[in-house]
Amino acid sequence: MLDCPPGGRESELGLIIVDCERPRMYRVLMPVDTDPDRARAQARYVAALPAAAEAIEAVVLFVFDGSARDADVPEEIAEFAGDPTRITAVRRAVEYLDERGVATEVIEGSTDAAERILAEAEERDVDSIVMGGRKRSPIEQSLFGSVTQSIVRNTDRPVVVTGGSTE
């Protein structure tokens, strides 16, 4: 452990190092949708990172395209607006991480999913993004696009894509 007087310590190069008693947590942005299996696979990946309970902070982001006030939003999603922990996928991911001692924060947004994920990654200065992948045909991808593809193409942060849970 570093000998760290209040206010920091001076390095060999004469630089002042602050917060040397508590290193910065490794922040992971974990955007989840309504699929509990994908969310659990993402949570399993995060919880399996080295020293996850001591060093990882997971930001679980529930994003639904559109506004919770829009008529196109399914009723089961609209009724939970403002409380994403009531969404089964979010709740299961958070429970999985909590059981393993991983610090979590839950946030939500209803806008373009890719834009919101990229904005949250930037705003929270996350170290990586853990996406839940799904299998789509090339035709589906070209017609509907892919949030995951958009994230991979438009961020300089590491992106991990997990598959669905096999448990």
Cα–Cα distance measured from residue 160 to residue 28, given in angstroms and rounded to the nearest whole number: 10
Tell me the pTM.
Answer: 0.75
Q: How confident is the model at residue 25 (pLDDT cuts 50, 70, 90)?
A: confident
CB atoms near residue 28 (< 10 Å): 25
Q: How confident is the model at residue 149 (pLDDT cuts 50, 70, 90)?
A: confident
Q: What is the DSSP letter of 58?
A: E
What pLDDT was estimated at residue 70?
Answer: 46
Interval 52-86: pLDDT, tens: 999 999 999 998 765 444 444 455 555 555 677 78
pLDDT at 15 over 80: no
CB atoms near residue 157 (< 10 Å): 15
Bridge partner residues of 131 (DSSP): 161
Q: DSSP alpha helices (H): ranges in the chain?
A: 36-47, 52-55, 75-78, 88-99, 113-123, 138-144, 147-154
Residue pair 89/33 in contact (Cβ under 8 Å)? The answer is: yes
Domains of the chain from N-terminus onward: 24-162 (3.40.50.620)
Reference 113, options 65, 158, 78; nearest CA is 65
